[in-house]
Structure 1
Amino acid sequence: MASIVERPQKSGAITFQVKWREDGEWQNEKFGDDDPAVGRAQAEQFKALVEAHGNRWPHGWVPGQGFVETPAVPGDVPLVDYASRYVRRLNGVDGRTKDDYERDIRLHLSQIQHTNLRGQVEQATIGNLIQEDVDDWVAYMNSGERDPEDPEKWLRAPADPKSIRNRHGLLYCVVQAAIDATPQLRTKNCCTRTQLPRADDHIKEEMTFLEHDEYQRIAQEFTDPDARLLADWLVGTGMRWGEASALQVRDLSLNADIPTANIQRAWKRAPKGSPESFYLGPPKTKKARRLVALTPSQAAMVRELVAGQPPEAYVFRTATGLHWRHSNYYHRKWQPAVKAAVEKGLPKRPRLHDLRHTHVAWLIGRKIPLPAIQARLGHESIQTTVDRYGHLVRELDAEIITALEDVMAGPAPVSRLTRVV
């Protein structure tokens, strides 16, 4: 704890010395004014700052001078302006993704504020942003903001950990661009040490895994055979919706020793203002371009579907011969089937994308290694596969226990000989 000592001067004035121990060494700072009450107030304020910093000099305080502000960076601009400029200059990113980034800047990065060394809140710029500002912003997103007039309502609801990580990732890239800029606008990335909330800090379960019989309870509720075939395909191949619904006749190789489907395109959301909501583009990542091996029954099913169709025809089509649209399929086919199954006792309410998760769970249940699953799903990194599905790898527990039991059952190591006196 810090203390304040009054020091009367020969002139009759009084100075106030703030004293504290920092790493075993005495530190002190003096305050004085023609009005002793003002000097005392200054000392009290500084004492509180020292204690708030763990009995250390406050960050940015220069002994004998006080807080010294960092001079403005030449070319400094508001953070949101620089972030928007960064997004507009991105290459290799589709228009809809840029729209999403701009939305995050407008709704979320705009909430970042800079607190200067005196504790005053200022507009965040690309030059003045510091780690503490980022920490405050992440904490704000994680906790949300209640409506002061109605505590049961939210002005801003808490964000889920994944959304926070995505927004923080965008901020990181924006700040790094300022470091790499010419002339350089920053020398350090203030996002590198941010402690982000863990995905498992929240009770909400993001994925639903279906047992085989649970999926069958949903499948039998489909009244449209074509819709049922597409659901079987999604759960049987692990393809993303945008990949499966974009599959064309020319993408199939059904006469090979192992039949395959070649993922070369996927439906993408079009930028705002486009005449169409979706367009055909490349898959999600480079590794999403892949061959997916098919079972004999899957090959037989699609062989029947594509018989007599031209190469550019979609494999999965509606009764009118058009490709399936997600909203149409989800609201008119998938949801009614799930609702009917739940009413008959199904204990889960899966999303359409949970068919992909279920596919992985079935493979893990048959002890398929995660690297093979990574390749089948088209994940860019094995870490993605491990992070999402690693907790399901419990089927090898018996083998692990057996292996350890065999090792431990071997001859005991020879103990160290003791000298006999």
Structure 2
Amino acid sequence: MANIRKRLKKDGTTSFMVCWRDPKTGGSQGITVITEIEAQTLKRLLDANGQSFEIAQSALLTNQARVPTVAEVVQEHIDLLVRPSSGTTKTYQVMLDLHIRNVIGHIPADKLDYRHLSHWVKSMAAKGKSPKTIHNVHGLLSAAMNTAEMLRYIPRNPCRGVQLPSVDKAEDEAMFLTHTEFNMVLDAMGERYKTFTNFLVMTGTRFGEATALKVADVDLLSKPPTVRINKAWKRDGQSQYYIGATKTGAGKRTIGINPALVDLLVPLVASRPADELLFTTPKGQRIIHKLFWHHYWVPAVRAAKAQGLKKSPRIHDLRHTHASWLIQDGVSLFTISRRLGHASTRTTEQVYGHLMPEALQAGADATERSITGFVR
């Protein structure tokens, strides 16, 4: 039987060599192809035709004249991604296998139309998939169809214009704490993680960013003191965690830190090696979100509720709370956007724009001016 050998090139890309034994000469043969799907196809044809490359090549040419199926297009798109993380590749592969392959995967790419896609979207909703999941899977399919368009399998991406369920919720997802409410949670927090909790609310950093910080990322002697956010915890294809890039390119940023936070960080920075994690567990290990949530955050919120807290904040709501405090102090959306690492101010405005006091007051003042002509 033929076999496939994966090769890593010097430039970081991969290729695949299909090897077999020629039935006439008995000698070893091999040919290199770019994608894994091409390698699997050639291997299958060789195995089905007695390892005859002539017959396999003829069948391959015939196969190439056929428009690939939706599943084949998505698989090729995944294979052609330039240096994706293994975690991203695994996520896309799961999307393909769970939501595409056995539903619309058999349809030739040039036959996929609006009707197919509408029924597909409705079927995911009927199975209880969340709007966010449907958007994510549709996004993968649409990106794959863009690839198919570039490869000239299809004249136009059929995913354009397909209606998707709204991801808007009946009430705001973000929760904002007052200073008093935050202090109620902080007072109940375990002593080990009070500085960490203060850091989250005073910087607005994401949990994965804060827990990936090294001692070297903090500069308490600069004017103003700063912390450099340029990495975050990621998960690879084997569900193992590693430190990688931030969520977006805009996520790489330098944040000015206030004097009160500087005082809290001094003991964590002083006389420690630069490459050590800034925040750790008592054993010096990474702070795991699930464990922190279960053993510290939930008990702290529960204790705060016993003292009168009416809200049920998530850890991520400390990031929202940070933004709300800046807005209340009159900080511009542009400054807040840069501090939070948003790709654009539009994202910041969508989440926090309704909190802008000057905008609320301006609307009320304009309404008052407009009604002076008829109100007695």
- Structure 1-normalised TM-score? 0.68
Percent of aligned pairs with the same residue? 33
Cα deviation code 1:1-40 (max 9, x no counterpart)? xxxxxxxxxxxxxxxxxxxxxxxxxxxxxxxxxxxxxxxx
2:109 partner SS: coil
**Can you list the C-alpha shifts for 1:109-157, whole angstroms capped at 9, x where unaligned?**
235439xxxxxxxx32322111221122222223x1xxxxxxxxxxx22
Residue 221 of structure 1 corresponds to: 188
1:125 to 108, 119, 125: 108
Conservation of the 8 A alpha-carbon contact between 2:188 and 2:304: yes
Equivalent residue number for residue 319 of structure 2? 356
**1:139 counterpart = 2:122:** yes
Judged with a 3 Å threshold, the aligned counterparts in structure 2 of structure 1 residues 208 and 401 are, in CA distance, closer, same or farther, namely closer
Q: What SS class does the counterpart of residue 234 from structure 2 fall into?
A: strand
Q: Who wins on radius of gyration, i.e. which is larger?
A: 1
Structure 1: gaps (5+ residues): 1-71, 115-122, 145-155, 410-421
Give the equivalent residue in structure 1 for 2:237: 271
**Equivalent residue, structure 1, for 2:26:** none
**Count of residue pairs the alignment pairs up:** 311
1:339 to 2:302 alignment: yes
Tell which has more relative contact order, 1 or 2 (C-alpha 8 A, sep 6+).
2
3-state SS of 2:181 partner: helix
Question: For residue 221 of structure 2, what is the aligned residue in structure 1?
Answer: 255
Q: Which residue of 1 aligns with 2:135?
A: 165
The yes-or-no answer on 1:98 pairing with 2:89 is: yes
Partner amino acid, structure 2, of 1:287: A
Any conservation in 1 of the 2:233–2:241 contact (CA below 8 Å)? Answer: yes
- The equivalent of 2:153 in structure 1 is 185
1:233-268 deviations in whole A, cap 9, x for unaligned?
A: 111111011110111111112112211101122111
Distance of aligned partners of 1:394 and 1:168 in 2 relative to their CA distance in 1, 3 Å threshold: farther
**Secondary structure, aligned partner of 2:91:** helix
Q: Which residue of 2 aligns with 1:89?
A: 80
Which deviations, in whole Å up to 9, do the C-alpha atoms of 1:324-369 show, x marking residues without a partner? 2222212211122122223443222222112112212222222322
Structure 1, residues 288-335: CA drift from partner, whole Å, max 9, x if none?
110011001111211222111011122112222333222221221112
Distance in 1 (alpha carbons) for counterparts of 2:322 and 2:228 = 18
Larger displacement relative to structure 2 (124-133 or 239-248)? 124-133
Cα distance per residue 1:140-175 (max 9 Å; x no partner)? 223x1xxxxxxxxxxx22x33222222211111010
State whether structure 2 residue 174 is matched by structure 1 residue 207.
Answer: yes
Distance in 1, Cα, partners of 2:359 & 2:150: 47
Q: Match of 2:12?
A: none
**How big is each residue's C-alpha offset from its partner over 1:367-386, in whole Å with a ceiling of 9 and x where there is no partner?**
32222111111112222222
Paired letter, 1:77: P
Give the match for residue 34 of structure 1. none
Aligned to 1:296, which of 259, 266, 275?
259
1:242, 1:338 → 2: CA distance?
21
Instruction: Give the unaligned 5+ runs of structure 2.
Output: 1-62
Counterparts of 2:252 and 2:222 in 1: how far apart (Å)? 19
Secondary structure of 1:396's aligned partner: helix
Shift of 1:405: 6.3
* d(CA) in 2 for partners of 1:171, 1:287: 26
- Residue identity opposite 1:190 in structure 2: P
In structure 2, the partner of 1:387 is: 350
Kindly indicate whether the alpha-carbon contact (under 8 Å) linking 1:75 and 1:185 is maintained by their aligned counterparts in 2. no
C-alpha RMSD of the superposition: 2.5
C-alpha separation in 1, matches of 2:231 and 2:271: 22
TM-score, normalized by length of structure 2? Answer: 0.76
Amino acid at match of 2:150: D
- Aligned partner letter, 1:174: A
- Larger fraction in helix: 2
Amino acid at match of 2:84: V
Tell me how far apart the structure 2 counterparts of residues 390 and 133 of structure 1 sit (CA, whole Å). Answer: 38
Q: Secondary structure at the match of 1:313?
A: coil
Question: In the aligned structure 1, how far is the partner of 2:213 from the partner of 2:112?
Answer: 46
Partner of 1:268, secondary structure, is strand
Q: Do 2:70 and 2:104's aligned partners in 1 also have CA atoms closer than 8 Å?
A: no
Bigger CA drift: 293-302 or 318-327? 318-327
Alpha-carbon distance between aligned partners in 2 of 1:100 and 1:209, rounded to the nearest angstrom: 31
Q: Which structure features the higher share of strand residues?
A: 1
Offset of 1:100 from its aligned partner?
A: 0.9
Q: Could you tell me which residue of structure 1 aligns to residue 24 of structure 2?
A: none
